[in-house]
Amino acid sequence: MTLTAGGHNSVLSMMMMMMMMMMSYVCVFVLMCVEKDVARTDRTHAFFHGDNNPNISVLYDVLLTHCMYNFDLG
């Protein structure tokens, strides 16, 4: 089986599209996991105590950054 240049490009573009879709699913999964972890944070700890505590968003950002830079660790 031989592919023409146009056929090769369409296969490559289809593979790239599939990879992008898989990456978006992984990103959504990571976001959901981080949101769950932040929701389960011990609010009795002084750093996270109180409603509308800005440290909650700091925790969210740190966890999300950790997941993206250390993807294999999660």
pLDDT digits (tens, 9 = 90+) for 4-51: 555 667 888 888 888 888 778 778 888 899 999 999 999 999 999 988
Q: Is residue 68 pLDDT above 60, yes or no?
A: yes
- pLDDT the model gives residue 57: 92
Cβ(59)–Cβ(38) under 8 Å? yes
Three-state secondary structure along 5-39? HHHHHHHHHHHHHHHHHHHHHHHHHHHHHHHHHHH
pTM over 0.85: no
